[in-house]
Amino acid sequence: MIRTLFRLLLLTALLNGVANAGINDGLVEWLAQDANFLGVRQVEFHPVLDDTGKHFDSDAAGKATQALQQKLTQAGMTMVDPGGPVPQRIVVKTHLVFYQPGSVGGRWVGFGGGAAVCILRTRLTDGNSDRLMGDLIGAYQVQAGGLFSAGAEKRVPAAAAELLANRILQLVGLEKADYEAE
């Protein structure tokens, strides 16, 4: 009995490790040479637009919008109406560039089969001059894990949005970069 329980715990730990090993994320950015976001606390926020041209069972753009907006407001950013006369604001426009819900069965096999993938692109512009100040691309995927990766199609849009939100918060000075962490 104890031996069976031990094996079950070992198998669970091993599979959980496999599920976490199948998670990849990344961020690519371009910032204008004179881009300075420090101290900016006003955000003209636009909902994430779905540019994939496909229909999915889950609302990936909605989940990304909710996660991005929630992370920014929780950190102290103030959302303002588009076109208002608010000084020192950035405009955040995000597009869902690629989304693939994948399949649990494919992730069980691994090697990228059945991967759940989300790629978002955020453009940061100056709220007063409409000048492009930054272009961020955030990607998140779950490519392995089998049953432990169930629901990944719902998590990847929010995770990609959080990557972008974290970088925006670093740019405005509300969150330390990973390399600055203690």
- pLDDT tens, the chain, 182 aa long: 565 544 444 444 444 444 444 556 788 888 889 888 888 888 989 999 988 888 877 789 999 999 999 999 999 998 887 766 666 789 999 999 998 887 766 666 656 677 778 899 999 998 888 889 999 999 988 776 655 666 677 788 999 999 999 999 999 988 765 544 44
Residues 6+ apart with CB under 8 A from 64: 48, 94, 96, 118, 120, 157, 158, 160, 161
103 is a domain residue: yes
146 is a domain residue: yes
114 is a domain residue: yes
What's the pLDDT at 84? 66
What's the pLDDT at 54? 84
Cut 0.85: pTM above it: no
117 is a domain residue: yes
Cα(144)–Cα(80) distance, integer angstroms: 40
What's the pLDDT at 181? 45
**Number of domain units in the chain:** 1
181 is a domain residue: no
Phi, psi of 107 (to 5 degrees): -70, -25
16 is a domain residue: yes
User: Which CATH number fits the domain that encloses residue 148?
Assistant: 3.40.50
182 is a domain residue: no
Boundaries of domain holding 107: 2-175
Reading the block at residue 170, the tokens are 């670093």
180 is a domain residue: no
Reading the block at residue 27, the tokens are 């961020």
